[in-house]
Structure 1
C-alpha cells in the first residue's frame, strides 16, 4: 500500500514542478511521480482478496499505467529495443500534464480537491479532464486484468467517492455499460498475445498492434462523451481547447502514432501549462510560451477547418492513411504542422489531398 511518508514527500516534489513556464511532463525522464507509484499489484489496496485501487487518487491512477506497461512490455518487442517504446507511455505522460497544469482539480471551486491549497493528489470527479482520463486508465486496466495480464483470476473493483454513481467500477459493469469500448481494449490485449507468436515481420506486427491500440484509444475517446456536462465549469476558451484536443486525436490515431516516451514528449511538451481563462486568445497569450501558443493556434485551426469543411478534412486524412508507407508520411506531416511554426497550413491541406489520391 502507498505509504503516508511517501505521500508527504510527493507533495513537496509536486510543489517544485507546478509553477513553470511550459508544460511539465516528466521527472528524471519518467512521468510525474512515477517512481512513487505501485510497482506490483500488492502495493495497491486489497479488501477480501479483491484489488480495490482508488482511481481518484493520483498515485493510484498512475499506478494503473505502471502495472499495465510492466505487464505488456514482454509483448512489445516489435516496438523497438528501448525500454520506453510502448505506445501506452503516452497515457501516463498525459496524466502527469493534467496534474501539473491544474486540470485534475475541482473546476467548480466547491472543494479543494486537486487545488494547490488542498490535496494535490486528489483527482476531482467534477473535472472534465479527469472524467475523460477514467476511460483511458480504468477501462484499459480492467480489460488487462480480464485478459490475464496480471495473472489468472485477479478480481478488481475500483473505489468510487460517496455520492458518485456515473462511473463503472468492475469489468462486468463497464462491459455492460460500454460493450464496444471494452471489446476494443480486449482486442488490443488479445492482439498483443497473438503478435507475440506470429510469423509476421516486426514492421507488420508493430503497425498491427498500433492499429489495435488506437482503435481502443478512440473508442475510449468516444465513450468519454458522457463527461460533456462537466465542461460547463470551464471557460469557453478551455472548452474550445478541449474540443480541439479531442479532434487532434483523430489525426494522430489515423497514422498509428507510436506514442512512446520520446515521441509523446515531442507532441505534449507544447500543451498549455495552465487551465485557459476567458480572454485567452492564441497565439497572443502573454504568460504562455511561443510553443504553447502555436500549439493552441494549430489545434484550433484544425478543428475549425474540419468544421467548415463538414468533417471532410478528417475523412480525407483517414482515407490517405491507407498503408504503412502513407502512415509514415502522415506522422512526418503532423510533426511539421504541429511543431514547425513556419510550416504553411495550406501546404498541409494540399499534401493531404495529394496523399489521399494515391490510395
Structure 2
C-alpha cells in the first residue's frame, strides 16, 4: 500500500505540470514571452534620473521595476552563459517573465477600480500600492536589487539609490538598503549569499568568444529560489487581507499559487527563459471574481482551469496534513535523485495534451 506521502506527491507531479502543458501543435513566440515594453529599456542603471546626487527609482511605476529586472539579468548574464544560448539560461528569467504576466493580467491594478493602474499600451502603467500582487512583487524585486547594491554586485555606483516612497502603507515597505537591512536582515543575508557566490566564480574557458564561468547549476538555482522565498515569506502576511484583492477568490488563488511555487522551488526547478514560459502557460489571463469560486467560466482555457484546480488541490492537501505535505516534499527533495526524477516527470508531463 502506498504511504500517505507518496500519494499526494504523485498527485502533485501528475496534475500540476499537466495543467501547464502547451496546447498540442502550438508554439509560443519569444516576443510574446518577454514582459511588455521589454525593448524600451536598456537595463542600464544610468537610465534612471539623478537628483541631488541620488539615483531616483520609482518602484510604483511599471517601467522602473522592469528596468530593475533587466539590470539584474544584464549584470548577471556572464555567469549563466553555459546554461542556455543567447542568455536564455539566466536564473532571473522566471521572475522577470512572471512580472510581465502580472501586468498583462491586470494584477497590478487598483482592487476597487480595475481600470486604474491597468495594463496600458503606452508603457506608462502604474502599480497600485493597494494591489496585493504589487506588494508581494515589490519585496521580491526590491530585495534582490538592494542586496545586489549592498554586495557591490554592480560594482561601485556613482550615487546612492533612492526609492520613492508612498505615504499609504508606509510601514508595509522598506525603501533603502539601510532600511531593508534594519527591518529584514535575514532576507538581505539570503539574497547577498546569491551575489557573493556569483562574485566568487572564476572564468574557466571561452566558447566562441563567450566567457564560461564555473557556476554550479544546482547551487546557484538553490540560492536564487531561497532568496525569492525569503522575500515572499515577508510579503505574504502583509498582503493576505482580502482588501488588497478585487475578490476573495483572487486572494485565495494568490496564496494557493505561492504555496505551489514552494513545491517547484524545492525541486530546483530550472527558472530559464523557455522553462519559465512553459511553467506560466496556465496562469489565468484575468483577475478572478467571486463567481469563479465554484464554477470556472468558459473563457478560461483548459490549461488555466487545470492550474487553478491544481493549486487549490495542493493547498487543501497541505492544509489537511497540517503543512506536513510540504515538509515531506522538501525533505524528499534534499536528494538529488528525487529532484532529478521530479524534474523528469515535470518535463515529460508538460508535453501531454489535455
Q: What's the TM-score once normalised by structure 2's chain length?
A: 0.81
| Counterparts of 1:38 and 1:60, CA distance in 2 | 12
Distance 1:192-1:320 versus aligned 2 partners, 3 A rule = same
Moved more, 278-287 or 245-254: 278-287
Partner residue in 2 for 1:171: 177
For 2:127 and 2:339, locate their aligned partners in 1 and report how far apart those are by CA, in whole Å: 36
Segment of structure 1 superposing worse, 230-239 or 135-144: 230-239
Q: For 1:36 and 1:273, how far apart are their aligned partners in 2?
A: 24
Render the CA deviation track for 1:218-248: whole Å, top value 9, x for unaligned.
1011011343255324312111211111111
2:64 aligned with 1:52: no
Name the residue aligned to 1:7: none
Which of 200, 205, 208 lines up with 1:194 in the alignment? 200
Closer/same/farther in 2, CA of residues 173 and 111 from structure 1, 3 Å limit: farther
**Residue of structure 2 aligned with 1:41, choices 37, 42, 45:** 45
Quick check: 1:128–1:228 contact (8 Å CA) kept in 2? yes
Q: Distance in 2 between matches of 1:246 and 1:282?
A: 20
1:279 aligns with 2:285: no
1:76 shift after superposition: 2.1
Aligned length: 318
Mapped pair 1:319 → 2:325: no
CA contact under 8 A between 1:26 and 1:32: conserved in structure 2?
no
Alignment partner of 1:235 out of 247, 267, 287: 247
What is the root-mean-square deviation in Å for CA atoms of aligned residues?
A: 2.9
Instruction: Judge conservation of contact 2:147–2:191 (CA < 8 Å) in 1.
Output: yes
Query: What's the secondary structure of 1:149's corresponding residue?
Result: coil
In structure 1, what is the Cα distance between the partners aligned to 2:294 and 2:346?
20
Match of 2:79 among 75, 79, 83: 75
Q: Is the 8 A contact 1:147 1:186 kept in 2?
A: yes
For 1:119 and 1:206, locate their aligned partners in 2 and report how far apart those are by CA, in whole Å.
34
**Pair 1:119–1:60, CA change in 2 (3 A):** closer
Give the C-alpha shift of residue 282 in structure 1: 6.7
**1:75–1:193 CA contact under 8 A, matched in 2:** no
Structure 2 residue 232 is the aligned partner of structure 1 residue 221 = yes
Q: CA separation of 1:162/1:310 partners in 2, compared to 1, >3 Å: closer, same or farther? A: closer
* 1:238-277 paired onto structure 2 within 5 Å: 238-277=250-289
Structure 2: distance between partners of 1:115 and 1:33: 11
In structure 2, distance between residues paired with 1:79 and 1:73: 10
The match for 2:101 is 97
**Structure 1 residue 209 and structure 2 residue 220: aligned?**
yes
Runs of 5+ consecutive residues of structure 2 not aligned to the other structure? 1-27, 206-211
Q: Give the secondary-structure state (helix, strand or coil) at the position aligned to 2:216.
A: helix
- Cα offset for 1:197? 6.2
Measured in 2, the distance between the counterparts of 1:229 and 1:251 equals 20
**Shift of residue 52 of structure 1?**
1.3
Shift of 1:162: 4.3
CA distance in 2, matches of 1:231, 1:36: 34
Length-normalised TM-score, structure 1: 0.80
Q: Is the 8 A contact 1:65 1:92 kept in 2?
A: yes
CA contact (8 A) 1:127 1:230 kept: no
Counterpart CA distance in 2 for 1:55 and 1:33 is 16
Contact 2:88–2:273 under 8 Å retained in 1: yes
Partner in structure 1 of residue 70 of structure 2: 66
Quick one: distance in 1 between partners of 2:213 and 2:79?
12
How far the C-alpha of 1:80 sits from its partner, in A, is 3.6
Per-residue deviation, 1:163: 4.3
Matches of 2:297 and 2:93, distance apart in 1: 30
The structure-2 alpha-carbon separation of the partners of 1:116 and 1:36, relative to structure 1 and needing over 3 Å to count, comes to: closer
